[in-house]
Chain A
Amino acid sequence: MNSEPTRTVFVVDDDQAMRSSLKWLIESIGMQVKTYGSADEFLNSYFPGRAGCLLLDVRMPGMSGLELQAHLARDDSRLPIIIITGHGDVSMAVKAMKSGAVDFIEKPFHDEDLLTSIRNALEFDEKQRVLQSQRAEIALRLATLTPREHEVMDMVTDGRANKEIATVLGVSAKTVEAHRARVMDKMRARSLAQLVRMVLVAGGNLQSP
C-alpha cells in the first residue's frame, strides 16, 4: 500500500458531528481528510483530476448525495464515490450504485469496514489514474503516425500477415515491412503483443494494462 500524501478522502455530510468524527477516524490511519458541509461547498473547492475518493451522505438538505454524484459524472470526474446511508435508505443506495458508486456503507458502521472500503476506492482511483496517463501517452504516439502507417498498424494488430496487407494496399511486401518497422518505432512497441495492448488501451477497451 503506497499512501502518497496527494491522495485525499473528501467527506461531504451535513451533520457537523458526523463530519468531524469521520475525519477523526480516517486520519487515525494516516490519510488526509477534507470535509464539506454540503455538496455545493464541495463542488466549489473541487477540480477534476484530484486524486482520492469521496465519502458522500445520501440524505442532505439542498443538493442531495445522488444529485452530486450525477453532477460529477457530467463533469467526467472519475473520483470514486462511497455512499453513506442511514437506516432504511437501501433503495437510495441501490440507485447510487447503479449510477457508478464504488461502494455503499450503512450508518452506523464498523471502522474496519469503512477503512477497507476507502482503501479499495483509493486503489481503484490509483489504477484509473495510471490507465488514464497511459491512454494519454499512447494517444500522443498515435498522433505521430501517417495515415498509411495507421492503416498498416490496424491491419497488423488485426493479425494479418504482411503479404496479405500488401495485396490489400496494393504495395509490395517490402514497403509493408518498412511501414511496420516505422510503426513499431514510433509507438515504442518492443513486440507485436505490446502494440496490440496499446491499441486496446487507446480504444478504451482495456481497464488496466
Chain B
Amino acid sequence: MLFHAEPGPASLTDTNVTVNSTPAKHVFYRFFRRVPMPVISILVGLAVGLAVWGVLDRIQGQAIKKIADKELQTQLDRQARESLIRFDQYLKNYVTTVRLLANHRSLAEYLEPRFWLPQKAPKPIVYRESPPSWLNDFIKRNALSVHSHILLVDTRGHIREVYQSGNMELPQALNQGVGEKLMDAGKVRTVVTRLDGWPYLLVSDVAEDMDGYRMGNLVMVVPINDTFLAASQRGLSSVHAAVALVDVDEQQILASIDPELLSPGTRLSEWRDLYLITTRPLPEYGGTDWNLLFATFIPHHSVKKMSSRVRNFERQQRVRAAFAYILVFTLVIYLVSARLNKVLKRMVGFSRRALGIEHPGFKRGANQLVLLDEWSQHFAQLVLKAREEMSRKHAIEMRASEALKAAIMEASLDSIVTLNRKGEIIDLNPTAERTLALTRDQAIGGSFSKLFLAADGRRHFLGLLKDSRRARREGRISQARGQLTARRADGSEFPVELSIVPIQLNDRSFYTIYMHDITNRKEAEQEIKSLARFAGESPNPILRVNPSGLVVYANTAGAPLLAAWGTQEGDLLPAEQTEEVGKALEGEHSIERETTIGNQIYSLLFTPIRELGYVNIYGRDITAVRHAEQEARRHQADLVHVCRLSTMGEVATGMAHELNQPLAAIVNFANGCSRRLQSNLGQRQALVDAMGQIATQAQRAGEIIRRLRALVGKQPPIRSEVDLNHLVREVHSFVEFDAGKMDCTIELDLEPGGISVDVDLVQIEQVLLNLVRNALDALQEVPPTARHLVVRTRSVGDAAEVVVQDSGPGIEPERMQSLFEPFFTTKVSGMGMGLPISQTILQDHGGSIRAESVPHGGAVFLIRLPVAPTVQPSLAAVG
C-alpha cells in the first residue's frame, strides 16, 4: 500500500554509478560484472589450490626431509646392528666347531696312545693337504672356508700338531706357543687378538684322551680378513654396504669385506667423504685387551638416492591433494552461485510483484553476486524510505492514543499503576495518588509492593505477577486477579481487588495494575454473612413466637424443646409458655425462666421485639452447669475436710491450744486441792467437787485427742475422671478470699479445652491448695504491689502440667533439697508436711512434683500428671 505512494522505482543501472567511486575500481568492477560466477569460481579455485600447493611444498618439504633423514639414520643403525650380530654369530660358529672337534671321539682315540714329553721347543707336526685323523669327517665335509689353522697344543702351550687348511702359514707369533690365556682348563675360550699385526680369532678347548687325561688344548686360529667378513655377512641384503674391523686407538681399518675398495691399513677418516660410516664396539672376547670397532660403510650416493625417492613420492601426494582441493572448492562455489541465482530470481520476482521494482536485467553471462549486491542496496533504500513514512504515521497515531490513554487514566475511578519489570512504579493515575495518599513524585521509582502493600500480601502479589506472565506466555487472557491488603502512605490498610495486565513493549515488560478499593464491599459482605448464620448455627435453641404463642421460627437446636412441648414450627406453644410470652411483651426487659425437660434443665430467655410484635426465646441447656454446681458444693465439703487433714501444722497448733485448756485446769484443780489438804483448810465436799472437775477435764482432753485422731484418719481414695482446669478453678475459689485480703489476685492461665485426668480429686485439690497456700505465704513477705501469683495448666504430650508460680522471695538453693522432707518448714506455725504429702499423693497418681526457684524472682512449683486415656466431653464441660 505504502509503496504505491512512492515515485517510480529507480532503475538499477542508475544506482550503479553511485556504488563505484574510483576509476580503478570501476574498471575492475566492470570486468568483474561480466564474468559469470562459475568461471570465477574455477579461477579462484585454481589460484587457491596453487597457493596451497606452493605453501605446502615449502613447509612440508623441509619437514619431510627431516623425517626422511631420521628414518635413514635409524635404518642405517639397524643395518649396522644387524651386521654386527651376524659377525658375532659367525664367530660363535667357530666356537661350536672347536668344541665339537675337541670333544670328538676321533681326537680322544688319536691321543690315547700318545704322550708328549715336555720339551723346550718341540717341532710340531704339520698337516697340509689332507687333514689328520683327529679331525673328523665334519671338517672334511665342511671344509673351513678361510685360511684357518687347527692346532693341538700341550698343557704348556707348545704346539705339537698343526693342520693348515689353506696355504697361509701359521702366524709367527704362535711359534713360541699359545698364550696362557687360552689354556684355561675346562672352558672354551674365544679370543680376538692381533698376531703379526693382523686380527685373528683364536678358539680353544681342552683335549683329552680316552681315559679323560688332559693332553692339552685344541686351538683354532682363524684370520679375520675379507674372506672372514664376507662369510660372516653372507645372506644379508645390504644396500651397497661394506663392513670393516677398525682399530679404535689408531682409527685404522684392520680388515674389510672388500679390500680393493677399503684397503686395510688405511685410516677411517680417509673414507668419510665417500661413505656414511656407522661404528659399533665389538663385544669383548675372552681377555682381549684390544679395542676394536665394527664399522658399516654406506656410500653417500646411495643414501641420497634413497631420500630423494621419498621426497618425490611426497610431492606426488601433494599434487594430488591440491588437485582434489581445487575440484571440491570449485564445485562448492559453483553450487552456491547456482543457488544464489535461484534466490536472486525469486527476489526479483517478489520485488516486482510486491514493491514494484523493475527487473534488474540479469543476463546469463553476468556475475550474479555483484548484481545481487547492487539490487539489494537499491531495495534497502526503498524499504528505508517506506519505514520512515510508516513510523511517522505511527507516531501521530501514538500521540493520539497516548492522549486518550492519559484521559482514561485520569478519569478512572480505579487506581491505575504501571510498573516496570522489576516492580518499580513508572506511572500512576490521580486516583492512585489519592487512594494511596502519596504524590506522584514520591511514588515513581519506588517498589510497588513495598510502598503500597501490607507485608503479608507481598508474596501473594509476586505470585499474581508471575501468574499474569504465565497466562500471557500461554496465550490465555493475560490478566491476574486477586484480593490483597493495600497500605496507604500513613500506614493504614484497606482491602483491594487487583487486576494485573502484563505488557510487552520492544522486549521490555511492564505491568499495568488496576486496583479497586473494596473496603465497603468487604464489610457489607462480612456483615451479611455473619448475620445470616447467626441463629441457624447456634447450638442453643432459638425460637421466635408471635403474641398468640405461635412458633414462627425454630432453629435446629430448638427441635428437642418443641418436641418436649408437643408442638412444632407453625403450631402453638403450651399455655404456660404462651403466658410468659405475653408477660415479656408487656414488660420492658427480657424474662428468664428455668424449665426441666426429661433429664435436661433449660434456661429460657424471653426477649420481646416490640417493633415486630414477636418474642424471641433463647434456650440454653444448663444441665451441666447445675450439675457442676452441685458437684462443686459436695466436693467443697470434701476438700475442706481433707484440707484440715493435710495442713496438719495448723491443725496441730489449734489442737495444742485446745488441749492446753483442760490440762491447765487440771493442774490448777490439783494444786488447789493439795494446798488445801496441806493446810487442812478444805471442806470435804469442795475437795470432792474439785476432784470431779479434774476427772471431767481429763475426759475433755481425751475427747480432743480422739477428734484429732479422727481428723487425721485415712479415707479410701476414689478415682474419677475430671478436668484439671476444673480442680484449679475450685481451689482458686477456696483461696480467693484470703488472696483478696492481701491484695493479691491469682491469675489463671488454663489450657483451652481442658485436660482430662483420672485422679482422686480431693487429694489433688489438697496438693494444689497447699501449693497456692505456700505461694500466698511467700507473698506475704513482699510488698502488696509486688504480689503476683499465676496458676497455669498445660497439656504436654501425654502429661498434664500445673505450674504454680509466685513472685515471692523464692527458695534458697540449699533449701531446695529439703523441701520435700517431712517437717521441713520455715514458718512459725508451719508443719512442713504439705510438700511431702503432695509428693506422696502425686506418686500414687503416677505423677511428679518439682520445685524451681528464680533468685529474687519467686518460686515455681510444677506438677505433672498422666492425662486420662479418653476425654469424656460431659466431664470436661463441667469446668
Interface of A with B (CB < 8 Å)?
Answer: 15, 17-18, 20-22, 24-25, 27-29, 59, 86-88, 107-109, 111
The smallest beta-carbon distance between B676 and chain A, in angstroms, is 5
Which residues 453-509 in B have Cβ within 8 Å of A in the complex?
Answer: none
24 pairs, A vs B, C-beta closer than 8 Å:
A15-B665, A17-B665, A18-B661, A18-B668, A21-B664, A21-B666, A21-B668, A21-B697, A24-B690, A25-B669, A25-B671, A25-B672, A28-B679, A28-B681, A28-B682, A59-B657, A86-B661, A87-B660, A88-B656, A107-B663, A108-B660, A111-B668, A111-B671, A111-B675
B668, closest chain A residue (CB): A21
| Residues of chain A with a CB closer than 8 A to B690's CB | 24
Q: Is the CB of A25 within 8 A of B660?
A: no
| Residues of chain B with a CB closer than 8 A to A18's CB | 661, 664-665, 668
Per the bound structure, the CA–CA distance linking A40 and B483 in Å amounts to 83
Question: 3 tightest A-B contacts by CB?
Answer: A21-B668, A111-B671, A28-B675
In the complex, given contacts A18-B664, A28-B675, A88-B656, what are 4 additional A-B residue pairs having Cβ atoms less than 8 angstroms apart? A17-B665, A18-B661, A87-B660, A108-B667
- Number of cross-chain contacts by CB at 8 Å: 72
B696: Cβ under 8 A from any A Cβ? yes
Other-chain residue from A27, A86, A87, A109 in contact with B667 (beta carbon distance below 8 A): A109
| Residues of chain A with a CB closer than 8 A to B671's CB | 25, 28, 111
Per the bound structure, the CA–CA distance linking A10 and B406 in Å amounts to 111
| Residues of chain A with a CB closer than 8 A to B656's CB | 87-88
B662: Cβ under 8 A from any A Cβ? yes
Per the bound structure, the CA–CA distance linking A118 and B557 in Å amounts to 81
| Residues of chain A with a CB closer than 8 A to B657's CB | 59, 86-88
Q: Is the CB of B669 within 8 A of A21?
A: yes
B653: Cβ under 8 A from any A Cβ? yes
Other-chain residue from B661, B667, B669 in contact with A15 (beta carbon distance below 8 A): B661
| Residues of chain B with a CB closer than 8 A to A28's CB | 671-672, 675-676, 679, 681-682
| Residues of chain A with a CB closer than 8 A to B668's CB | 18, 21-22, 24-25, 111
Per the bound structure, the CA–CA distance linking A24 and B675 in Å amounts to 10
B659, closest chain A residue (CB): A87
Per the bound structure, the CA–CA distance linking A25 and B682 in Å amounts to 11
Q: Is the CB of A109 within 8 A of B664?
A: yes
Per the bound structure, the CA–CA distance linking A29 and B676 in Å amounts to 8
Per the bound structure, the CA–CA distance linking A29 and B671 in Å amounts to 11
Q: Is the CB of A25 within 8 A of B693?
A: no
B147: Cβ under 8 A from any A Cβ? no
Q: Is the CB of A111 within 8 A of B662?
A: no
A26, closest chain B residue (CB): B672
Q: Is the CB of B662 within 8 A of A17?
A: yes
Per the bound structure, the CA–CA distance linking A21 and B662 in Å amounts to 10
The smallest beta-carbon distance between B159 and chain A, in angstroms, is 153
Given contacts A24-B690, A87-B656, contact A17 B675 (CB under 8 A): no
Q: Is the CB of A107 within 8 A of B660?
A: yes
Given contacts A27-B672, A111-B675, contact A21 B665 (CB under 8 A): yes
| Residues of chain B with a CB closer than 8 A to A17's CB | 661-662, 665, 693, 696-697, 700
| Residues of chain B with a CB closer than 8 A to A25's CB | 668-669, 671-672, 675
| Residues of chain B with a CB closer than 8 A to A111's CB | 667-668, 671-672, 675
The smallest beta-carbon distance between B188 and chain A, in angstroms, is 136
Per the bound structure, the CA–CA distance linking A88 and B660 in Å amounts to 11
Given contacts A15-B665, A18-B661, A107-B664, contact A88 B653 (CB under 8 A): yes
Which residues 640-685 in B have Cβ within 8 Å of A in the complex?
Answer: 653, 656-657, 660-669, 671-673, 675-676, 679, 681-682
The smallest beta-carbon distance between B831 and chain A, in angstroms, is 13
A17, closest chain B residue (CB): B665
Q: Is the CB of B697 within 8 A of A108?
A: no
Per the bound structure, the CA–CA distance linking A59 and B828 in Å amounts to 18
Q: Is the CB of B672 within 8 A of A108?
A: no
Per the bound structure, the CA–CA distance linking A27 and B689 in Å amounts to 15
Q: Is the CB of B663 within 8 A of A24?
A: no
Per the bound structure, the CA–CA distance linking A107 and B667 in Å amounts to 10
B690, closest chain A residue (CB): A24
Given contacts A15-B665, A108-B667, contact A21 B672 (CB under 8 A): yes
Interface string of B385-400 (1 = CB under 8 A from A): 0000000000000000
| Residues of chain B with a CB closer than 8 A to A29's CB | 675
Per the bound structure, the CA–CA distance linking A15 and B660 in Å amounts to 11
Per the bound structure, the CA–CA distance linking A28 and B667 in Å amounts to 14
The smallest beta-carbon distance between B689 and chain A, in angstroms, is 9
Per the bound structure, the CA–CA distance linking A200 and B672 in Å amounts to 44
Q: Which of A25, A59, A109, A111 has the most CB of B within 10 A?
A: A25
The smallest beta-carbon distance between A163 and chain B, in angstroms, is 66
A20, closest chain B residue (CB): B693
Given contacts A29-B675, A88-B653, contact A108 B669 (CB under 8 A): no
The smallest beta-carbon distance between B692 and chain A, in angstroms, is 11
| Residues of chain B with a CB closer than 8 A to A86's CB | 657, 660-661
The smallest beta-carbon distance between A60 and chain B, in angstroms, is 12
Per the bound structure, the CA–CA distance linking A18 and B667 in Å amounts to 10
Per the bound structure, the CA–CA distance linking A109 and B697 in Å amounts to 16
| Residues of chain B with a CB closer than 8 A to A108's CB | 660, 663-664, 667
| Residues of chain B with a CB closer than 8 A to A22's CB | 668
A28, closest chain B residue (CB): B675
Per the bound structure, the CA–CA distance linking A108 and B662 in Å amounts to 9
Per the bound structure, the CA–CA distance linking A18 and B664 in Å amounts to 7
Per the bound structure, the CA–CA distance linking A96 and B540 in Å amounts to 64
Other-chain residue from A21, A27, A107 in contact with B693 (beta carbon distance below 8 A): A21
Per the bound structure, the CA–CA distance linking A27 and B681 in Å amounts to 10
The smallest beta-carbon distance between A17 and chain B, in angstroms, is 4
| Residues of chain A with a CB closer than 8 A to B672's CB | 21, 24-25, 27-28, 111
Per the bound structure, the CA–CA distance linking A208 and B682 in Å amounts to 38
Per the bound structure, the CA–CA distance linking A29 and B674 in Å amounts to 11
| Residues of chain B with a CB closer than 8 A to A21's CB | 664-669, 672, 693, 697
Per the bound structure, the CA–CA distance linking A108 and B795 in Å amounts to 54
| Residues of chain B with a CB closer than 8 A to A88's CB | 653, 656-657, 828-829
B656, closest chain A residue (CB): A87
Per the bound structure, the CA–CA distance linking A76 and B663 in Å amounts to 35
The smallest beta-carbon distance between A56 and chain B, in angstroms, is 14
The smallest beta-carbon distance between A120 and chain B, in angstroms, is 18
A91, closest chain B residue (CB): B828
B682, closest chain A residue (CB): A28
Per the bound structure, the CA–CA distance linking A17 and B666 in Å amounts to 9
B653, closest chain A residue (CB): A88
Per the bound structure, the CA–CA distance linking A77 and B669 in Å amounts to 31
Per the bound structure, the CA–CA distance linking A22 and B667 in Å amounts to 10
A19, closest chain B residue (CB): B665
Per the bound structure, the CA–CA distance linking A111 and B675 in Å amounts to 10
Q: Which of A24, A108, A109, A111 has the most CB of B within 10 A?
A: A24
The smallest beta-carbon distance between A58 and chain B, in angstroms, is 11
The smallest beta-carbon distance between A55 and chain B, in angstroms, is 11
| Residues of chain B with a CB closer than 8 A to A27's CB | 672
| Residues of chain B with a CB closer than 8 A to A107's CB | 660-661, 663-664
The smallest beta-carbon distance between B1 and chain A, in angstroms, is 119
| Residues of chain A with a CB closer than 8 A to B669's CB | 21, 24-25
Q: Which of B664, B665, B668 has the most CB of A within 10 A?
A: B668
Per the bound structure, the CA–CA distance linking A106 and B665 in Å amounts to 13
Per the bound structure, the CA–CA distance linking A21 and B667 in Å amounts to 8
Per the bound structure, the CA–CA distance linking A15 and B657 in Å amounts to 12
Per the bound structure, the CA–CA distance linking A29 and B675 in Å amounts to 8
| Residues of chain B with a CB closer than 8 A to A15's CB | 661, 665
Interface string of B19-52 (1 = CB under 8 A from A): 0000000000000000000000000000000000
Per the bound structure, the CA–CA distance linking A22 and B665 in Å amounts to 7
The smallest beta-carbon distance between B217 and chain A, in angstroms, is 144
| Residues of chain A with a CB closer than 8 A to B662's CB | 17
Per the bound structure, the CA–CA distance linking A29 and B672 in Å amounts to 9
Per the bound structure, the CA–CA distance linking A148 and B660 in Å amounts to 64
The smallest beta-carbon distance between A116 and chain B, in angstroms, is 13
The smallest beta-carbon distance between A112 and chain B, in angstroms, is 9
| Residues of chain A with a CB closer than 8 A to B681's CB | 28
| Residues of chain A with a CB closer than 8 A to B663's CB | 107-108
